[in-house]
Structure 1
Amino acid sequence: MKSGAAAIQAAIIDLDGTMLHTVPDFELALNGMRADLKLGPITQDIIEPMVGKGSEKLIRDVLALDYDAAKIDAVFDQAMAAYQRHYLAINGERATLYPDVIEGLRALQELGLRLACVTNKPIAFTTPLLDRKGLAPWFELVYGGDSLPKKKPDPLPLQQVCRDFGLPPSAVVAIGDSSNDAEAARAAGCFVLTVPYGYNHGMPVQTINSDGIVNSLLDAAKLISAHNSTSN
C-alpha cells in the first residue's frame, strides 16, 4: 500500500473464495441441475475455475461442457431455475470459513473500519449464507451480483459503497481473491488486497494487479493497521 496515502476507513470484502470456500456447495447445486437435465455429474476441479463471474456466466459455462450455443440458449431458463432451486435448498451446507476470517473481521472492526460485503453471488443466496455462517453481523452493507445494475469487475458496486459510506475511494480497500475484485477496485480508485487461496478463474493470484497479497483477513487487518499508523 502506498506510503503517505490517506488512512483506510472502510473495507469492501468479497465472499466466495475470500471468506468462504463455497465450491462444495456449487458442486451439489450444479450436479442437481445437471441431473435434472439428464447430464452426468462434474467435479469440483472443473467447477472452481468457473466461479466468480455471477450465476448466469456459471450456468452457461457448465452447460457449454455438453451443449452448443443454440442448445444452451434453449435450455438456459430451465437450467437456471433448477440451479437456483437446488442452491437455495443446500446453501451453506458444505461451505466452510477460511482460516482467520472471523478474527480478521474483528480486527478490522477494532481498527474502526466500516465493513461492506460485495459479491457477484445473487443476493437471494448471499443473505442467508452470511446468516448461516455467522458473518452477517459484521457487515453494515451487503450487495449481491444482482443488487445493482452492474456487478464486478465493473466499479459500480464499489463506487456505491463509497457513496453509502460517504468516503472517498482513496480511503477504502477492497479485499478479494480474483481479478474481478482488483479490476473493480482499480477502476473505482480504491486500494485492493488479494488472498492467495481463492478461485481467480484458474489463474495464479500473482497475475492480479493488487496492492499486496495477504494470507488471511487477519493479515490484511495487520497491514492496514501498519498503513494507517504512518498515513497522512
Structure 2
Amino acid sequence: MDFIQPPPQRWQSAIIDLDGTMVDTLGDFDVALNRMLTELGRPALERTTIEHMVGKGSEHLIHSALVHGGLGAEQASAQLPMAYEHYQRHYLSINGAHSAVYPGVLEGLAGLRARGLRLACLTNKPLAFARPLLQAKGLDGFFECVFGGDSFERKKPDPLPLLKTCEALGSAPAQTLMVGDSQNDGLAARAAGCPVALVTYGYNHGEPIEGAPHDRLLDSLADLLLPDAGSGLAH
C-alpha cells in the first residue's frame, strides 16, 4: 500500500499508540520499575536500558528487568506475579508524574478530529494505566475508545488488537491509519491491512525506526496535516 498516494476515499479513522508516540513515559517507567526492583532486592536499571525493554507490555518489561538483573528466565517467570503486583502499585502512584506529551501531539489530534476522523488509542500498556494517563495529560477527549494490552487476548505485534479496534470504530482496516513508534505497530498494521505511519522519536527497542514496516515516517503527529502527507488527510 502506498501511503503517499491518496486512496479513492479519505481515511475514516486513525488508531494512535500511546507510549513513545503521544507521551514520553520513560520517566514513569524508570521510577516505577526501579522502585519495584529495590523492593525485590534486585539491582537498579539505567534509563537507557529500560528504553530498550519498553513496548511489549508490562509483563515483558518486568520479566526483562528481572533477567537483566541476574535471574534466569524460569526464576524471573516464577517471580513475575509478585513483581507485577509491586510494579502496578508503584506505577499507579506516579502515573504521568514523570512524563510529558510530545510536541505536535495536541495539534495533530485536533487536526485529525477537525477533518472528521474517528480516533482510538491502542496501546500495549495495561488499560488501568492508559486511561488515567490520557486523562492526566488532557488527551482523553480526543478518543472514542481506548484499548490496552489487556483488552484483548493478544497484544501488538499481533494484528488482533488492530482488527478489534477497527471494529469498534466501524471502519475497514484499509481505511484506518495506524500511528505508532515501533516495530510492534508496523508489524501489527501490516498484518491487519492498515496503512501505518511511524514517528521518529519514540521507543523501538534500540533499533532504527527506518527498519520497521511503515508507509511514512513522521517527526511529529502534526506532520499528518501537511499538504504532502497524502492519504486525503490534508485538504
Is 1:189 equivalent to 2:168 in the alignment? Answer: no
Is 1:219 equivalent to 2:227 in the alignment? Answer: no
CA drift at 1:75: 1.6
Q: Would the aligned equivalents of 2:197 and 2:217 in 1 still touch at CA under 8 Å?
A: yes
C-alpha RMSD of the superposition? 1.7
User: Helix, strand or coil: the match of 2:121?
Assistant: strand
Task: Report the Cα distance in structure 2 between the residues aligned to 1:124 and 1:103, rounded to whole angstroms.
Answer: 26
User: Helix, strand or coil: the match of 2:19?
Assistant: coil
Q: Would the aligned equivalents of 2:28 and 2:95 in 1 still touch at CA under 8 Å?
A: yes
Is 1:74 equivalent to 2:78 in the alignment? Answer: yes
Aligned to 2:167: 163
TM-score, scaled to structure 2: 0.94
CA drift at 1:40: 2.6
Which of 12, 16, 38 in structure 2 is aligned with 1:9? 12
Given the superposition, is the C-alpha separation of residues 168 and 73 from structure 1 closer, same or farther in structure 2, using an over 3 Å criterion? closer
Aligned to 1:108: 112
User: Which amino acid letter does the alignment assign opposite residue 40 of structure 1?
Assistant: P
Deviations 1:164-196 (A, max 9, x none): 222111111000000111111111111000000
Task: Report the Cα distance in structure 1 between the residues aligned to 2:101 and 2:4, rounded to whole angstroms.
Answer: 30
TM-score, scaled to structure 1: 0.95
User: Helix, strand or coil: the match of 1:174?
Assistant: strand
Is 1:27 equivalent to 2:35 in the alignment? Answer: no
Aligned length: 231
Is 1:154 equivalent to 2:158 in the alignment? Answer: yes
CA drift at 1:74: 2.7
Q: Would the aligned equivalents of 1:194 and 1:213 in 2 still touch at CA under 8 Å?
A: yes
5 Å-filtered alignment, 1:56-71, equals 56-65=59-68, 66-71=70-75
Task: Report the Cα distance in structure 2 between the residues aligned to 1:24 and 1:4, rounded to whole angstroms.
Answer: 38
Task: Report the Cα distance in structure 1 between the residues aligned to 2:194 and 2:211, rounded to whole angstroms.
Answer: 18
Q: Would the aligned equivalents of 1:51 and 1:199 in 2 still touch at CA under 8 Å?
A: yes
Identity of aligned residues (%): 48
User: Helix, strand or coil: the match of 1:152?
Assistant: coil
Q: Would the aligned equivalents of 1:3 and 1:230 in 2 still touch at CA under 8 Å?
A: no
Deviation beyond 4 Å, 4+ runs, structure 1 = none
Which of 210, 214, 219 in structure 1 is aligned with 2:214? 210
User: Helix, strand or coil: the match of 1:32?
Assistant: helix
Task: Report the Cα distance in structure 2 between the residues aligned to 1:229 and 1:156, rounded to whole angstroms.
Answer: 25
Which of 32, 41, 46 in structure 2 is aligned with 1:43? 46
Task: Report the Cα distance in structure 2 between the residues aligned to 1:229 and 1:128, rounded to whole angstroms.
Answer: 29
Given the superposition, is the C-alpha separation of residues 23 and 46 from structure 1 closer, same or farther in structure 2, using an over 3 Å criterion? same
Where does the alignment leave 5 or more consecutive residues of structure 2 unmatched?
A: none
